Amino acid sequence: MEIAEKKQRLLSLDVLRGLTVAGMILVNNGGPASYAPLRHAAWNGLTIADLVFPFFLFMVGISTYISLQKFEFKSSASTVRKILKRTLIILLLGWGLYWFESCLKGDFFPFDHLRIPGVLQRIALCYGIVSLLAISVNHKRFPWLICVLLVGYAIVLLVGNGYVCDTTNILSIIDKGLLGEAHVYHKSPVDPEGLLGILPSIAHTLIGFWCGKLLMQFKRLDEKMLHIFLFGFILMAIGLALSYGLPFNKRIWSPSFVLFTCGLCTSLLAFLIYVIDFKGNTQWTSFFIVFGVNPLFIYILSEILAAVFNEYRVSKVACEMLASAIPDPYFSSLIYAVSFVLLNWLVGYPLYKKKIYIKI
């Protein structure tokens, strides 16, 4: 039986992107106590919280393929300008968030100690580099490039104390040597968004790009589901096998972490395509689509609100009020985090209803 693909975009992509953004906001805004799955692993290991950023970066890869496909991946001055412009804007937004937080504390000129790496900064660099590769390198070479990046990075980790959480770690040495100790993460010896970690993150985004290629390559929904599910299963299997010598570690973006989280995200996408696009079960999707159609805007909004709430003690007062009503500190913290997610949803909902998509 022929199963024709619908002309419109895959709704599952918006849902998965929205689920990821909502998850990022939830994880970043827990109260004084959070359930273990909603806390990042202290070092080696993997929790639900460790999945949200890699899932988002994976979706950046898919979106990059879909957006550049419109230009047939041809390199032109206008396309390069658009890529560089978007990369620069996201970088500036990342640094602008740090500056805004500093201004709230009364420090209007924090440039001698402003952190240089960050979540948005990594997204910007991965998007920019992968986009430029996509219009200048034959896509058939991407699997080899991914392998070179991950194998090379694995070697660096093994010879450079990459799995040691102290200042002898090669990642810490390079960050502090090139950026200066004042400009990196201070809550851990290793900056979780440091310079060397960009290499496996590029590989991560390239895997997402390849998944986007698979999605667009096949016309029938059943073909899409089958191929990306097999792709995801293979990635998870390889990542799990590698984890016995190269443990999962989000803070250093270990190769096993890259492969397993990409595989898990791919498999989840295959499942969502089946449920949403193939079976048509869309009644529950609108909540996540609100986040999915304006992902960067809502994420940046959440970071601004969190900074304001923390500085003016709104978060503390709200958590104390919840704690007085709910004896379990973990559950009260979860209620606060969910409420914060809903607050951002309330801002995004009118934009979604009016079909206003804020693109960067």
| 360 residues of the chain, pLDDT tens digit each | 233 334 457 899 999 999 999 999 999 998 778 899 999 999 999 999 999 999 999 999 999 999 999 988 999 999 999 999 999 999 999 999 999 999 999 999 999 999 999 999 999 999 999 999 999 999 999 999 999 999 999 999 999 999 999 999 999 999 999 999 999 998 899 999 999 999 999 999 999 999 999 999 988 899 999 999 999 999 999 999 999 999 999 999 999 999 999 999 999 999 999 999 999 999 999 999 999 999 999 999 999 999 999 999 899 899 889 988 988 999 999 999 999 999 999 999 999 999 999 988
Domain endpoint, select from 247, 281, 315: 281
Instruction: Say what the pLDDT of residue 300 is.
Output: 96
Question: Looking at the domain assignment, is residue 8 inside a domain?
Answer: no
Query: What is the per-residue pLDDT for 306?
Result: 95
At residue 8, the pLDDT reads: 54
- In this prediction, residue 1 carries a pLDDT of 28
49 and 27 Cβ atoms separated by less than 8 Å: yes
Rounded CA-CA distance 37/20 in Å is 15
The answer to whether residues 76 and 194 belong to one domain is: yes
Residue 4 domain-assigned?
Answer: no
Domain check: are 266 and 155 in the same one? yes
* Together in a domain, 267 and 352: no
Whole-number CA gyration radius for the chain: 20
Cβ atoms of 213 and 139 within 8 Å: the answer is yes
Residues 322 and 287 in one domain: yes
Report if residue 2 sits inside a domain.
Answer: no
Query: How many residues are given for the chain?
Result: 360
Q: What are 273's two structure tokens?
A: 């395509």
Tell me: do 318 and 336 sit in the same domain.
Answer: yes
54 within domain boundaries: no
What is the predicted pLDDT for the residue at 2?
32
CB of 197 closer than 8 Å to CB of 122: yes
Within-domain flag for 32: yes
Residues 133 and 202 in one domain: yes
Residue 196 DSSP label: T
Boundary residue ending a domain (251, 281, 311): 281
CA–CA gap between residue 286 and residue 273 (Å, rounded): 15
Q: Which domain holds residue 297?
A: 15-39+282-360
Q: Quick one: 222 and 319 in the same domain?
A: no
What is the distance between the alpha carbons of residues 236 and 230, in angstroms, rounded to a whole number? 10
**276, 288: one domain:** no
Q: Which residues contact 301 (CB under 8 A, 6 or more apart)?
A: 344, 347
Residues 267 and 291 placed together within one structural domain of the fold: no
In a domain, 234, yes or no: yes
Instruction: Identify whether 327 is part of a domain.
Output: yes
CA distances from 187 to 86, 107, 171, 184, 315 (A): 30, 20, 15, 9, 21
Residues 214 and 303 in one domain: no
Q: Clarify whether residues 132 and 190 are in a common domain.
A: yes
**What is the domain count for the chain?**
2
- Assess if residue 52 is contained within a domain: no
Domain closes at, from 281, 297, 324: 281
Q: Positive or negative CA dihedral for 328, 331, 334, 335? A: negative
Overall pTM > 0.85: yes
Residues 29/337, Cβ–Cβ less than 8 Å: yes
Cα distance between the two ends of the chain: 42
Clarify whether residues 225 and 321 are in a common domain.
Answer: no
Task: Please report where in the chains the tokens 């991965």 appear, as a residue.
Answer: 126
Helix (H) or strand (E) holding 174: helix 170-178
